[in-house]
């Protein structure tokens, strides 16, 4: 299928992806702009998975202070090059993730960052709650509750507050696919007025 340059240009402006990638995506989507966006997102996420082992030594420390001045967040986001770290889009991503932390107060960045003692304690609580259920389904019940626990308490597992159709991990993967670099949330700190240590 022949795709017009105007449509390719429109897709490029909408996504920020290179012209040739936009053209290929439009050809694959039979000229449908929305389907082409989906094609690019899928390819970007697949490419992001391939970059998972690469070093991400550059980055940016973003912040967010809630309008009432009672909650503040600092977050470190890393990428591979200073060029990406200095971009406005990268800084916007850092601010969005800081806003996510302010809104949801996660325990950790990822599942791997939650201590084994916390996991063990939660599993024990859920097993106790399910003790009157048939023995053969208790493990499935506990696993289901742990999945929900991770979705609520791990930053990258959470639904993104600005788009409930995406998780924070998907947001980062999509951004990584767009810039062609590995992008990770390294750490964060959340402060709230009146919190006790």
The model's pLDDT over 124-165, given as tens digits with 9 standing for 90+, comes to 999 999 888 888 888 899 999 999 999 999 999 999 999 988
Contact 62, 88 (CB under 8 A): no
Q: What is the pLDDT of residues 42-65, one digit of tens each?
A: 776 545 455 455 556 788 999 999
For residue 97, give the nearest of 61, 57, 67, 68 by alpha carbon: 61
| Alpha-carbon span 84 to 180, nearest angstrom | 9
| Alpha-carbon span 112 to 117, nearest angstrom | 12
Domains recognised in the chain with CATH numbers: 5-51 (1.10.8.10), 55-110+154-192 (3.30.479.20), 115-152 (no CATH)
| Alpha-carbon span 29 to 45, nearest angstrom | 17
| Burial group, residue 45, by CB count within 10 angstroms (0-12, 13-18, 19+) | middle
Confidence class for position 195, pLDDT limits 50, 70, 90: confident
Contact 95, 74 (CB under 8 A): no
Q: What is the pLDDT of residues 5-47, one digit of tens each?
A: 788 778 777 766 666 778 888 888 888 888 887 877 777 654 5
Contact 36, 165 (CB under 8 A): no
């Amino acid at each position: 299928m022949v795709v017009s340059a105007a449509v390719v240009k429109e897709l490029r402006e909408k996504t920020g992806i290179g012209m040739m990638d936009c053209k290929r995506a439009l050809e694959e989507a039979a000229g449908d702009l929305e389907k082409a966006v989906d094609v690019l997102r899928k390819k970007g996420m697949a490419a992001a998975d391939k970059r998972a082992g690469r070093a991400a030594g550059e980055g940016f420390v973003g912040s967010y202070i809630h309008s009432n001045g009672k909650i503040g967040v600092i977050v470190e986001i890393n990428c591979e090059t200073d060029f990406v770290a200095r971009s406005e889009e990268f800084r916007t991503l850092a601010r969005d993730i800081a806003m996510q932390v302010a809104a949801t107060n996660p325990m950790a960045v990822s599942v791997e960052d939650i201590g084994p003692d916390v996991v063990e304690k939660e599993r024990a609580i859920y097993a106790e709650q399910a003790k009157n259920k048939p023995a053969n389904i208790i493990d499935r019940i506990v696993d289901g509750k742990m999945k929900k626990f991770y979705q609520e308490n791990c930053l990258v597992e959470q639904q993104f507050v600005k788009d409930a159709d995406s998780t924070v991990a998907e947001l980062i993967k999509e951004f990584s696919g767009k810039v062609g670099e590995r992008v990770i949330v390294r750490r964060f700190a959340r402060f709230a007025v009146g919190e006790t240590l």
